[in-house]
Amino acid sequence: MQTLPMPQFPVWLPDAVQQQAKRLWSKVSTEKDPVKARKILEQLISNPLMERVWDELYRKQPDKHEGFFNHACLTNASKAAAHREEAQELRKKGPEKNRRDAEFLEFEARLIEALPDEPTDPSWREQDCAAQLFLSRAYRAALDTEPQLVSDIQAKVGKLRKVAKALRKLAKELQSVGIGVTEIYAQQLEDVASDCDDDAKVIKPRPAIDPWLVIRKRGDTRRKTFVAKLSYATYLLFMKTLHNTIANVTNVVFSSQSTNLPGGPRRESLITGETVREMLRRNAQRIRPSFGPLIMPLFEARKKQLEAELENPRSVARRRNSR
């Protein structure tokens, strides 16, 4: 395996990002298309537009020594804090649905804080780890920008279900033979049919949850796919959709793939934060309750039951004696 010479790191590239870039660079030759991978990673490391990206991810809050404007949300404590911030904003808006969503988010924040954290590199701050992951996500998304059409995935789902149906029909025919070995074969076919149904459920397109799926093939679908994937990454890492940052990285990635002038794409082909906002308008990522609406009612019902038992201990004793 040939080791490529390490590219020159610009002075503005953060130390944590440099370390991650070295890790990615050491594996470039193992990629499906090493030439494409090298070109993309070189741009993500050295393109001057990337200085804006790291400046934004490390931008400090005014009057705060350690606070970041776009703070990372990798630890459970940070995720819980982001949920509470969103809950506070929802309460300001007023309507009943927003108030109820705020309660769900606050409930989830309490549960998240009780969970163990995933292990992280102790030599870096949480913000550094998020910046490293952002570089990796951008690189990986750039390597795979082929659009995923909803219609294509739906066709695969349909084929899997059709195969499952045919397998179950064959299983019944084998069972009708009436000898021991055919019953074993029939059960194996039933198992494969169940696996096909499960796979169909897994790959079933969910545009509202997977914003990179393309519903209609119009415009620059490759760039839209990349923008959507990167927006999902910023949401997971920072609980925000960083429109200007996504625009800068997108311009860097697609300038490395451009066949225009040597300096990259023509001016009119560059996108802005507003362009990204419009691209994501139908699939904007928002912090919203996930498991709270399911679990919180159970907790509330149990709480009421316990409160009732405390208020009337005699009825509780009678109920226990009757068992």
Per-residue model confidence as pLDDT tens digits over 47-83: 999 999 999 999 998 765 568 999 999 999 998 998 8
Q: Going by C-beta distance under 8 Å and a sequence separation of 6 or more, which residues neighbour residue 25?
A: 4, 6, 7, 41
* Domain tally, the chain: 3
In a domain, 7, yes or no: no
Instruction: State whether residue 259 is helix, strand or coil.
Output: coil
Same domain, 268 and 243: yes
What digits encode the pLDDT tens for the residues 232-247? 889 889 988 899 999 9
Same domain, 125 and 262: yes
Same domain, 157 and 189: yes
pLDDT band at 147 (very low <50, low <70, confident <90, very high): low
Q: Supply the pLDDT for residue 295.
A: 74
pLDDT band at 128 (very low <50, low <70, confident <90, very high): very high
pLDDT band at 3 (very low <50, low <70, confident <90, very high): low
State the number of CA atoms in the 13 A half-sphere of 86 facing the CB.
25
More confident residue, 145 or 187: 187
pLDDT band at 264 (very low <50, low <70, confident <90, very high): very low
Average pLDDT, the chain: 82
d(CA 5, CA 26) in angstroms, rounded, equals 9
Q: Which domain holds residue 273?
A: 15-74+120-146+217-283
Same domain, 174 and 56: no
Same domain, 197 and 177: yes
